[in-house]
Amino acid sequence: MEKKVFENGLRVLYLPIEGSHSASVGIWVAAGSRHESLKEQGISHFIEHMLFKGTTSRSSRAISEEMDMLGGGLNAYTAKEYTRYYAQTLAENAVRALDILCDMIMNPLFEIDELERERGVILDEMAMYEDSGEDVAHEALCAAVWPDASLGRPICGIAETVSSFTSDDLRSYIKTHYTPERMVAVVAGDFDSNGIDALLHRTLGTLPRGSGAVPFDIPRFTPSLALTKKRFEQTSLSLAMPGLPSGDPRRYAMRLLNFIVGGGASSRLFQRLREELGLAYSVYSSYSSSSGTGLFTVSASFSADQQECVLMEINSVLDKLVSGVTEEEFDRARAQIKASNIMGLETVAAQATFAGHNELFQGRQITREEILQSLNALTRSDVNKLASDILGSKKRALSVAGNTKQRSFYTPFLTVS
């Protein structure tokens, strides 16, 4: 892999994969919901939608038709700390696909009619999430854990702000946040490197450098209880503990711990609540890492009349894991995580995603060999120490959405035995 840094700060990653018939091109922008003010809630996501709605040289329809002619697909998504625009196409069409992405980012029209249409689409998307108990529980959890921080706000924003955005608001946000030193362009496959280089120099390479990093707060974990009483087919919960920030050296131990707790069919949560007791169809654990902070979360959906049993069993599983994992669990988790790293990076698209994420969050490339070495160096005591620190934390937050009970019912389940 080759990395170039243009004069204006744009970072470009070239991942040549000889013999590949496809190419993946993408542009990562360090602008997500965490960078937004209260009045800007949802603007990163709104812009992501609007960049597909036409440029000074291509209509929305033309963008779609041109990508179809290239035999490729175009997509984007907004996260807490970045927005990513990417395309997958035949290798010989990589330059043309990247040209479309650059045009979308540099020359958006933000026409009033399109803005109003897309506003309706986004409000419908937000309403769809409100129909999901799991989504409602998760968003309420984040808001409770980080009550005064942008990290605790939904990526889509709220109806009040989404309904107020104007074209000028979008342009102002882009001017501040879509600057070259905050961008990473990634190209992977068997592509024309000279053509890619020339394209980027005459497009993103001409953008004026901005002021650099846009500061955001690093919130502390707030122990809390959030209850959302609403009619759903099932009741959903999210139970969280403080996790690890991105880049933490214990992140490999975290991957194993998560797999053992609730990351697979052999996990303790799945085996106990789903297979042995049949209390919940969906039960799993997950972890999220952000700059300066993180969460470890257990999630479940179940019949409302099973709430007490589900919460008791989840706490029982977590309490037992504080004492440590077995040698068999450790070996099984490490084998699974090693295999997922090897198989997960076999495609061109996966390698491009991995490279972009590493550059944005680590500032360097982490090789597959480095990951495997780190996993091989792990000991069971490393995972047990992390289990004690994370699962044994006295700081817990619980969010329940659906047919909820009185607050006093849930208080005992926030206490570590």
Cβ pair 74, 22 in contact under 8 A: no
Pairing outcome for strands 397-402 and 282-290: unpaired
- Report the residue count for the chain: 417
Instruction: Tell me how far apart the alpha carbons of residues 73 and 186 are, in angstroms, rounded to a whole number.
Output: 16
| Tokens 């969460």 sit on residue | 295
Q: Which two tokens stand for residue 384?
A: 């047990």
Instruction: Tell me how far apart the alpha carbons of residues 82 and 79 are, in angstroms, rounded to a whole number.
Output: 5
Cβ pair 279, 313 in contact under 8 A: yes
Active-site pick, 36, 40, 48, 118: 48
Please list the helix, strand and coil fractions of the chain in percent, rounded to the nearest 5, in that order. 50, 20, 30
Q: Is residue 48 among the annotated active site residues?
A: yes
**What stretches of 81-163 show up as alpha helix (H) in DSSP?**
94-106, 112-130, 133-145, 159-162
Pairing outcome for strands 224-229 and 397-402: parallel
Q: Which two tokens stand for residue 283?
A: 């039960």
Instruction: Return the active site residues.
Output: 48
